[in-house]
Amino acid sequence: MKSELEYEFQPGSCQALYMPKHPTKLKLASWLILATMLMGLGGMTSVLAGNTHQIKMVAEEVDPTGNLGLFAYRMMQHQVVDSNGNTVDLSGNYSTVATIPGPTIVMTEGDVAEIELMHQFNPDNPKQEHVSLHVHGVHYDKESDGTLKYINLYKDESATPVLSYNYRWIAAPGTTGTWAYHDHNMNSHNGAEDRGLFGALIVNPASGLLLQDINGTGSGNALLSQIQKEFVLYIGDDAFWGMEINNANGVQTALGANPNLNAQLNSDIRIHLIALGTNFPQFELPSYTWIDPGTRRRISAKTIGPLEKHVFAINASQSASYLDTAFSSKLLGMKGQLIVD
């Protein structure tokens, strides 16, 4: 969807809840609230926030002179517009360089993200002609799948050397959770997700009640507000890639490969695992336990497959090593420390 098409939806491409019957200049967020009230969704415990995230991101090569063959996303601008039209600029929370994983985009159930992606690769390399954002979990219509026409039979949904591309993600009710976003179009119709073009989207519940309890004790849902730090840990075929988000100030810090995670003693932290590649990581964090989602089992280890997510909250009570115990991963030293002090 090119810039001029921004905010326009194809007829029938979105469910009625989000779809004004007639073109309107009202902000979508207002419609959300109105629709929610009109439809009397009594199940909702709080009014949806309905913020709009206006985001500009760049996809570029990591250290082009280093010949690493790695690529990454960089946040250029992130502004949040609330339902009253007030704008908060979060751009300063992000790294000024492209990072692996890419910027973590944090939304709340009910929010909408409008993301413009820009292409900063070698314009002469035909394999790098396209780059995109394909997101998991949340709602988007066929303009924002982030795939090539070869896949979607509609159009190339890519940023190219000459045109940026706009994506629209809707963190509708039922999309709470942690989701991957990644490229789907560079090099081939499968994209270069395994070359560094990936990041995480966290959709927090509008209720402020976390999906997890702390340590899997069955103590009931924890409050989002009690989580001091979020750690996004992508598990690639040969390394963990970390990103820390300090919830006190929203500042994100890229931690690099097989990072150490620093947490304050007795603080509550949340770990967001996403696997990516061809291997099946066997994640372990000995001396901590949490609940395996959907079950009542308390676990300290979990095998996940590529692009599965696994999210848990723990109280940082002691230092420990996290690792991937799969045969080659262990030999390659895929591990790091959770340092608690």
Partner 1 sequence: MSTSIYGKKMKKFSITFISMALWLFSSIAWAATHTISISAVQLPNGQYGYKLNNHTSSDGVVPNYPAEAVIPGPTLFVKQGDIVNIQLRNETNIKVGFNAPGLTNGVVAPANPGQSKSYTLNTQQTGTYPYFDDKSQLLGLFGAIVVDDANGQVQSFVDGDGKITAVNRAQLDKEFVMFMVGSTFWGAEISRDGTQKPLWTNPTLGAVMNNLVRFHVLSVGMAHTFHLHAHRWINPAANPNTATAEDIIDVHLMKNPHDSHVFTIKAGTGVGPGVWQYHCHLVSHMESGMNGKFLVVAADSGDPGNSIAGASPSGAIFLNPSDDPGLVTFIISDEPGSWFRSARGDALSPVTFTKSLEVIPPGSSVHFVMSDTHGVHTITSLLWPSEAGNNNHPGGDHFMIPFDQTKAYRGGGIVQLNVPGLYVFTCKVHPYMFGAVIVDSPGTTGLDLGNTIDLVSGIKNLPTSSDLATRLLRTFFVATTQGNWQDYTAATPWHVNYPNVPVETNLGTLNLKDVLEARYGQDITLSAVTAPATPGVGEVWINTQFEKTAGKTKPGTITVLDTTNWTLKRKIALPEINMNNPHNIWPNRDHTVMYQTQWFDTKLTLIDQRTGKLIKNIQVGDTPSHVVTLPNSDDLTVAINGENGVVIIPAGTTEVNYMMPTQHQGQVPANPHGHWVSADGSRIITPNINTSDAGIYNADTGQIVSRTQTGNGAPGPHPIAIGMMPDSSKIYASNLLHHSLSVLDGNNGALLKTINLIENYNPITGDITGPVGVLPIQTPVSPDGKAVVLAATGGQIVVVDTKTDSIVKMLACDPGCHGANFGAKQGGGYYAYVTSKFSNRLIVVDVDPNNDGDLSDADIVGSISMVAGSSVAKDDTISSLAGYGGQGLVALPNVYNGWVQNLTSEWASGLTNSQRNPIQ
CB of 248 to partner 1, least distance (A): 25
Query: Is 151 in contact with 138 (CB distance < 8 Å)?
Result: no
Judged by CB under 8 A, does residue 236 bind partner 1?
A: yes
Torsion of CA 256, 261, 264, 268, to 10 degrees: 110
CB of 318 to partner 1, least distance (A): 26
Judged by CB under 8 A, does residue 331 bind partner 1?
A: yes
Closest by CA to 244, choosing from 316, 142, 169, 156, is 316
Q: Which of 277, 289, 319, 337 binds partner 1 (CB under 8 A)?
A: 277
Phi, psi (rounded to 5 degrees) for 79: -115, 140
Stretch of residues binding partner 1 (CB under 8 A), selected from 52-60, 87-95, 151-159, 317-325:
151-159
Whole-angstrom Cα distance, residue 327 to residue 309?
A: 21
Closest by CA to 231, choosing from 338, 79, 109, is 338
Judged by CB under 8 A, does residue 239 bind partner 1?
A: yes
Please report which helix (H) or strand (E) contains residue 302, including its range: strand 301-303
Judged by CB under 8 A, does residue 212 bind partner 1?
A: yes
CB of 202 to partner 1, least distance (A): 12
Whole-angstrom Cα distance, residue 99 to residue 57?
A: 12
Judged by CB under 8 A, does residue 305 bind partner 1?
A: yes
Name residue, tokens 């402020």: 208
Q: Which of 303, 319, 325, 337 binds partner 1 (CB under 8 A)?
A: 303
Judged by CB under 8 A, does residue 136 bind partner 1?
A: yes
CB of 64 to partner 1, least distance (A): 14
Largest CA distance in the chain: 60
CB of 137 to partner 1, least distance (A): 6
CB neighbours (10 Å) of residue 159? 29
Judged by CB under 8 A, does residue 335 bind partner 1?
A: no
Q: Which two tokens stand for residue 329?
A: 């991963």
Stretch of residues binding partner 1 (CB under 8 A), selected from 25-33, 152-160, 225-233, 265-273:
152-160
Judged by CB under 8 A, does residue 287 bind partner 1?
A: no
Number of residues that bind partner 1 (CB under 8 A): 74
Judged by CB under 8 A, does residue 174 bind partner 1?
A: yes
Contacts (CB under 8 A) with partner 1, residues 27-56:
39, 41, 43
Q: Which of 50, 216, 242, 306 binds partner 1 (CB under 8 A)?
A: 306
- Strand 134-135, strand 177-182: pairing: antiparallel
CB of 53 to partner 1, least distance (A): 18
Q: What is the CA radius of gyration of the chain?
A: 20
Judged by CB under 8 A, does residue 64 bind partner 1?
A: no
Of residues 229 and 309, the one with the C-beta less far from partner 1 = 309
Of residues 46 and 318, the one with the C-beta less far from partner 1 = 46
- Kindly write down the DSSP assignment for every residue of 39-51, as one continuous string: HT-TT-SS-----
**Helical H runs in the chain?**
28-39, 149-152, 327-331
